[in-house]
Chain A
Amino acid sequence: MKEPLVEVEDLKKWFPVKGGLFSTIFSRKQLFVRAVDGISFKIMKGEVFGLAGESGSGKTTTGRLILRLIEPTSGKLCLEGKNIATLSEKELKKMRRRMQIIFQDPYESLNPRMTISDILEEPLSVQGISSPAERKNKVSRALEDVELIPAEEFLHRFPHELSGGQRQRVAVARALILEPGFIVADEPVSMLDVSTRAEVLTLMLDLVKKFNISLLYITHDLALARHMCDRLAIMYLGKIMEFASVEKIVHEHLHPYTKALISAVPVPDPTSERIEVVVKGEIPSPINPPSGCRFHTRCPEYLGDICRTKEPQLIEIKPEHYVACHIYTK
């Protein structure tokens, strides 16, 4: 757990806003959606690192940036010590063996015209790994790894013949087949039925441990994040507000936003205390994020001018517990 596998430093992604013809000609200023606005973290070897936040907080963009599925605006991105932000296409293709992704919707991420064996073989042939006969072996083994047994029964089926949970297992197998060191899982179970969610997550955890893979788990569901992750970062409008071990986030959270987020999670127990909503309104537009601390417009513990004017830095308040809030730096 000591060695960092992925290092992200001051990563930024600003998407230009496309205006109409009129505004393109006459407007002086180009507007940007600041999807990810300067975040830094490290993911250790074999660690499950969670990114949680509301929609529009930039968590999915972060996941795609790390794999360079989209080009970062600025910042440093290291995987196994190599800066992937500056790699050429050719070098990047080589690196892709080491990093893979599991998408949210297994109904859309698998090609409906390909059989399961074709889907799993494709990454191997793209990367030019092993002979065709060996590839077949690898495909069968990958299916067994994700507990689609017996493998022969699934090889020649099409995605539409499988249930949602089975499809997502195929997506997991496809990510694993290149033996990567790092996998991004973007809301991998949000499209699945509740009764099958747990088995996919448990399987992913088992495989991550078995192959010593680092996992970036992106989710909006904090109860699931707690189940999956070792460390958890809470994002809001493109910034990390707090990050620490998952139990610290759940029980000893410091940032007012984390507090609001955790207290808003419904609890499946009718006898426990009911939710108290302290935060008003909804997440503001990332085109013109609020000045200073981005949460100050909704913050129940607003301190005054300092929150409005000065952006808080992410600081280690307690050992291994980082918070970006003025309450703790005064």
Chain B
Amino acid sequence: MPLLDVQNLKTYFFTLRGSVKAVDDISFQVEKGEALGLAGESGCGKTTAALSILKILPKGGSILGGQILFKDKDIVKLDENEMRKKIRWKGISIVFQGAMNALNPVYKVGDQIVEAILAHEPNAKKNEAEERTAKLLELVGIGSSRANNYPHEFSGGMRQRALIAMSVACNPDLLIADEPGTALDVIVQAQVLKMMKELKSRLNLAMILITHDLSIIAETCEKCAIMYAGKIVENGDIVSIFKDPLHPYTQGLIQAFPSIKTAKTEMTSIPGFPPDLLYPPSGCRFHPRCPYVMDVCKKEEPNPIEVATGHYVECHLVGKR
């Protein structure tokens, strides 16, 4: 039984111009203690998918269908009160994009973590929460004495660490990290990613890592789902995704990332640009940019096909094999 089982999730945004199909029928699973990378270009719906899991969609967005089974319970059916009491922070927590600005500048970092603990565990005592905060900060590699500092006294990397410490404050089973590496320099990014990997194995955390950078996923995750225009086009363990990508979009995306370790390779890109999700293309959403487009691609939406255990692809090319 997977820890998180998302099935046929649909999240649309309603605007004056029509409905934006930001997440359209996606399914994926995350096991306990496992990291899933959710990759795709900007606007492909990866952040919306994460916000749907926590039911914290911005105005206008709503979940129209599907199930989100967390520990076998469907979160979609829970009301706001139950979400707050049972799921958020204690079950699933999130580290938002842009760690630089996520902390409140006028409160001490330690106090902000204490506040999070007290708000979600009404029985906890303040001094207990303070002790836990000190331990949490040490866990992410910040000296506990720094709890009395204000966010501006922290560097970018430390702020990101403090937020990660805060996110695991109430012992969640699943941590969602939205672009944890962007906005950080390479060396600091490597430090933070390493710390997250250690945290994951120490706390037996499941993680969903949202990023546009495939190399970060290769570095930290066990499984990877590639999103394009609101759909998951390919999903599997990272070795098969990186070594044997079957969807033309995955292939294109991987070729767009040069590696510094191997011999210099030709860098190619995918012609065209992602579609407007108000009016997504008919059939396979990737067909206007696909180098192998066939007639069937324009008419019929491809269904997910399991090519090997746990490796799913949505492409008519694969269906024909």
Residues of A within 8 A of B (CB): 54-55, 163-165, 193-199, 201-202, 220, 222-224, 226-227, 247, 250, 260-262, 264-275, 277, 279-280, 282-283
Beyond A197-B269, A268-B242, is A279–B218 a contact (Cβ under 8 Å)?
A: no
Which residues from 245 to 304 on chain B have a C-beta closer than 8 Å to any C-beta of chain A? 252-262, 264, 267-271, 273-274
- Per the bound structure, the CA–CA distance linking A283 and B187 in Å amounts to 10
Contact of B66 with A by CB under 8 A = no
Contacts of B219 in A (CB 8 A): 266-267, 274-275
- Give the distance to chain B from A309, nearest Cβ to Cβ, in Å: 25
Nearest neighbor of A247 in chain B, beta-carbon distance: B264
Nearest neighbor of B242 in chain A, beta-carbon distance: A270
Contacts of B267 in A (CB 8 A): 197-198, 201-202, 227
Contact of B155 with A by CB under 8 A = yes
- Give the distance to chain B from A281, nearest Cβ to Cβ, in Å: 8
A269 touches B252 (CB 8 A): no
Ordered by A's residue number, 28 sampled pairs between the chains whose C-beta atoms are within 8 Å are: A193-B41, A194-B213, A194-B256, A195-B41, A195-B252, A195-B253, A196-B269, A196-B273, A201-B267, A220-B186, A223-B257, A224-B258, A226-B260, A227-B267, A247-B264, A267-B219, A267-B259, A268-B259, A269-B218, A269-B262, A270-B238, A271-B239, A275-B193, A277-B190, A277-B191, A282-B157, A282-B185, A282-B188
A55 touches B185 (CB 8 A): yes
Contact of B215 with A by CB under 8 A = yes
- Per the bound structure, the CA–CA distance linking A132 and B219 in Å amounts to 55
- Per the bound structure, the CA–CA distance linking A265 and B258 in Å amounts to 11
- Per the bound structure, the CA–CA distance linking A262 and B267 in Å amounts to 19
Beyond A269-B218, A275-B190, is A262–B260 a contact (Cβ under 8 Å)?
A: yes
Among A223, A260, A269, the residue within 8 A (CB) of B187 is A260
Contacts of A165 in B (CB 8 A): 273
Contacts of B231 in A (CB 8 A): none
- Give the distance to chain A from B232, nearest Cβ to Cβ, in Å: 17
Which residues from 149 to 187 on chain B have a C-beta closer than 8 Å to any C-beta of chain A? 155-158, 181, 185-187
B261 touches A272 (CB 8 A): yes
Beyond A193-B274, A194-B41, A197-B269, is A266–B218 a contact (Cβ under 8 Å)?
A: yes
B268 touches A198 (CB 8 A): yes
- Give the distance to chain A from B312, nearest Cβ to Cβ, in Å: 18
A264 touches B190 (CB 8 A): yes
Top-4 shortest CB links A-B: A198-B269, A266-B215, A264-B190, A54-B185
Contact of B207 with A by CB under 8 A = no
Contact of B204 with A by CB under 8 A = no
Task: Contacts A223-B215, A269-B218 known; list 10 others, CB within 8 Å.
Answer: A195-B252, A198-B267, A199-B269, A199-B271, A220-B186, A223-B260, A265-B215, A266-B189, A268-B218, A270-B242
- Per the bound structure, the CA–CA distance linking A163 and B261 in Å amounts to 32
- Per the bound structure, the CA–CA distance linking A164 and B194 in Å amounts to 32
Contact of B42 with A by CB under 8 A = yes
Contact of B313 with A by CB under 8 A = no
Contacts of B216 in A (CB 8 A): 266
Beyond A54-B185, A270-B242, A282-B188, is A195–B213 a contact (Cβ under 8 Å)?
A: no
B261 touches A267 (CB 8 A): yes
Among B157, B188, B260, the residue within 8 A (CB) of A265 is B260
B259 touches A223 (CB 8 A): yes
- Give the distance to chain B from A59, nearest Cβ to Cβ, in Å: 12
- Per the bound structure, the CA–CA distance linking A280 and B141 in Å amounts to 11
Among A55, A193, A268, A280, the residue within 8 A (CB) of B257 is A268
Contact of B243 with A by CB under 8 A = yes
B243 touches A271 (CB 8 A): yes
Contacts of A277 in B (CB 8 A): 187, 190-191, 194
B218 touches A267 (CB 8 A): yes
